[in-house]
Amino acid sequence: MSARNPLRLFGIVLLASLYGIVAWTKLAVAIDAFADLRDGDGAQHALILAHSMSGFLFFGALAAVSVARPVPVQRERRPIGWILPIVVMGLFLIVGRPTPTRSELWLVIPATLFAVVGTAATLVSLRRLGSNFGVVSDVRGFVQSGPYRRVRHPLYASELMTAFGLLLIVWSPLTVAAFILGTVAQIARARVEEQAVTSAFPEYREYAQRTPMLIPRIRPR
Instruction: Give the tens place of pLDDT for each residue, 74-109.
Output: 777 788 888 888 888 889 888 877 677 776 778 888
Q: Is the dihedral of CA 7, 134, 55, 28 positive or negative?
A: negative
Helix segments in the chain, DSSP class H: 4-38, 43-67, 79-96, 105-129, 154-168, 173-200, 204-210
- Choice among 4-8, 85-89, 167-171 with the minimum mean pLDDT: 4-8
Contact 169, 112 (CB under 8 A): no
pTM check: above 0.85: no
- The phi, psi pair for 72, rounded to 5°, reads -75, 160
- The phi, psi pair for 201, rounded to 5°, reads -130, 90
Mean pLDDT of the chain: 81
Looking at residue 71, its pLDDT comes to 62
For 46, the 3-state DSSP assignment is helix
Q: Is 197 exposed, middle or buried (0-12, 13-18, 19+ CB in 10 A)?
A: buried
Nearest to 94 by CA among 158, 170, 43: 170
Contact 169, 118 (CB under 8 A): no
